[in-house]
Amino acid sequence: MKYKQEINTAFRNSIPVMMGYLVLGFAFGLLMASYQYAWYWTALMSIFIYAGALQFAAVGFFSAKLGMIDIAIASFFINIRQSFYGLSMLKKYAHTKWAKPYLIHALTDETYAVLTSMQVDPALSQKHYALFLSALNQGYWVLGSITGALFGTAVHFDTRGVAFSLTALFVVLTIEQYKAARNILPFAIGAVASILSLMLLGSDMLLGAIILSLLILFGLRSQIWRGAQHGA
């Protein structure tokens, strides 16, 4: 089969995401069912929006009957972090041609983390590897959300605590990032920036933490580069 190696590598590297997306997608489906939305609305959101945290927030937006402008502004700030790391994929996706629109659509936090942390044989087609990985990850999310919606329609279910699976997934991916980089400095910068932003901004700390982390990373880029070279 053509691209068999790319598919196998993408599947192996997608397993950590699968564990999180099936569970978290299931929780999203349950939430949609609890608001009496039909299962196909859940499927359409997971296919065409596919934004994780924004999908959970969107349920609240709809129930509160927010206007389109309010939803657009809130969505912008929830997902603005992707603008920062998306820029780093411009070179990697430069020659993906027809696959580029979907690769951009499917570039979630977790897919980005896997693409930048997992070692891949350079002999493989990087375009098709990224495409299969992105499609597999979205497939897990869609499958989990539809299953949750169907289950929630039939059975009442308490979803408290299920969303912690996303936190656990990020912990696993952070460990993989460290194992690939072997440099503690970027992670220490992220931790310090997050703590400072939490102290100064409270629950609105996400954007502040990202900006502060980037400023510090740019300021210390030479030290980080030397650490990466030493770790390699």
Closest among 45, 29, 2, 19 to 146, alpha carbons compared: 29
pLDDT in tens, 158-205: 666 655 655 666 677 677 667 766 777 878 888 898 899 888 888 767
Tell me how far CA of residue 25 lies from CA of 37, 43, 115, 169, 202, in angstroms: 15, 10, 21, 13, 28
Residues 153 and 217 both lie in one domain: no
Q: Are residues 138 and 33 in the same domain?
A: yes
Q: Is the pLDDT of residue 157 over 80?
A: no
**pLDDT band at residue 218, thresholds of 50, 70 and 90?**
confident
Same domain, 167 and 220: no
Q: Indicate the number of domains in the chain.
A: 2
CB 162 within 8 A of CB 103: no
Q: Do residue 158 and residue 192 come from a single domain? A: no
* Residue 13 near residue 132, CB atoms below 8 Å: no
Q: What is the pLDDT of residues 6-59, one digit of tens each?
A: 999 999 999 999 998 998 899 899 888 888 899 999 999 999 999 887 888 788
Instruction: List the structure tokens of 102.
Output: 């979907």
Q: Distance between CA atoms of 123 and 70, rounded to whole angstroms?
A: 47
Mean confidence (pLDDT) of the chain: 83
Same structural domain, 73 and 156: yes
Residues 95-154: tens digit of each pLDDT: 899 999 999 999 998 899 899 887 788 888 989 999 999 999 999 999 999 999 999 888
Looking at the structure, do residues 142 and 108 belong to the same domain, yes or no? yes
Q: Which domain holds residue 61?
A: 4-173
Do 92 and 196 fall within a single domain? no
Q: Do both 130 and 34 map to the same domain?
A: yes
Q: What would the DSSP string read from start to end of 167-224?
A: HHHHHHHHHHHHHHH--SHHHHHHHHHHHHHHHHHGGGHHHHHHHHHHHHHHHTHHHH
DSSP H or E stretch at residue 19: helix 4-34
Structure pTM?
0.71
